[in-house]
Every structure is written in structure tokens, then in C-alpha cells.
Structure 1
């Protein structure tokens, strides 16, 4: 099943691709790789969640924030390529989690994005990954992800 069909089957409608908020582009294509700039949990132009996971937010809310960031990432991929079916595989995901000092479950938070990519792309959605904790992220978002895709 194609990625586009899988989104439709799950009832997921991609939003308009988020617009950069500073001096950068949403994605850069070089050869058969597409590098997507960092994405947060923005829905309809507003941050869905704010704060630190383990303090203002639960692990489950952090997971959902990562899933939303992954959906926004795919919106950029579709804008750049015209179709998600041109994605050959998800190569690498780098995830940052704004965390309370006593929160150590960053990998479980970033699973929100990893699980989503596997759900859409199957085995081609499984990827190399880093999940890092940090004290703060831009605009008080709890999660930011950046992703590298291999494309056809």
C-alpha cells in the first residue's frame, strides 16, 4: 500500500506545510536525500502543547506532540515532492525533547514520530535515530524533530 493510500486509510489529512519562522528553508534536496528542517507540534498555526515533558506535560502528551511534528514533516515532504509515494525510506530522525531535570524517557516521547513513520511507510519508515533531552526549545515547544528521507 502506498504512503498516500495509508494516510487516507487512517483518515489523516496533511495540513498546509508550515512556513519557516526565521532565515531557513523548509527542506533541502541533495541527490536522492531530502533534509527536512526542524518541526514542532503546530496545529492550525498554534502550538498544540507548550512546556517541558515531565513537568507541565505528561509522557503521553509529549508522544502526541512528536506525532504532530511528524505529520508536519510529511506536509513539507509532500510540498517538496508532490507525493509521499516518492519517499523510498526514512533514513534518520533527530528528536529533541524539552525535559524536566528528572525526566529521562526522551526515547518514549520521540516514539510518537517513529511509530507514525512506521505506520505510514511500513519497514521503510524504520530509521536510525537520536532522542535528546534539552532544557528549552524555540517557542516553548516540548518537541522538535528533523528528518532525512531517501527519495526516488
Structure 2
């Protein structure tokens, strides 16, 4: 592949990912709305469903700024959908955890989420094709993490 073709592939990839991001955000808003959530609230709550995390940990997992997560976390706490709890590893970095109301809101999203997953599985040509799509996207993310530090731009 020539240098020009590599640049074209990068541009097409970036534009495709930007489009996917917009599509996922729009669908997420539709799925989250009946549960009284926004896509951003759903993302943050979803990040702490398996285990409580500090705001910085949520930001790392989501690939967004700590300040953005902090604003959403504070709103979730104010709305009673999440709570802060002490962090034994760090006194000042409290852990965010979903409340029963937060978990119930996420549960209300599940039917639409399951329907979307089934529709995408069918549209992509089955479970193996969907799994391959996930592997490719995860590989791209890992590769971007690896090359980011070696980029020699100001």
C-alpha cells in the first residue's frame, strides 16, 4: 500500500468512526430516553455496573475527560441514580456506584438494547460476523493507543 493509499485508508477510517459515533449516540439517546436517562448518563452508569470506579477510572474506560465524567457523575448522584462511596485505595477519589434506582433505569433500557443487538446481528450476517466486527474495532483502538505515544507532532 502506497503512502497515499495509507493516508486515504486513515481518512476513511476516521470518517467512518466519526459517523459510527454519531449513529451510536443517536440510537443510545432513543434507547435511554424511556428510562429517563441520556446517552451520557447511561454510559457513566454502565461503566460502574460491574464495580464502583473513581471518576478518573470511568474517564479512562470511556476515553473522555475526567471533567466530563465528573459533571455527569454529580448529576447522577443529585438525581439519586448513583452514589459516592469511600475509596479504600485513595481518600479523595471517591468511588461512583449505581443506586437501586440507577440499576432499575438501566434495566428499563435492556429490552430495546436486546432488540438492537438482535437486529445488528442479523444485519451483519450472524453472530460470528458481529464478533469479528467487535474484534476489528478493539484492534483498531489498541493500535491507536500504541501509536499515539510515538506520534511526533507538536
Shared fold, TM over 0.5: no
Bigger Rg over Cα: 2
- How high is the TM-score relative to the length of structure 2? 0.24
Which structure carries more helix by proportion? 2
Which structure carries more strand by proportion? 1
Higher relative contact order (CA 8 A, sep 6+): 1
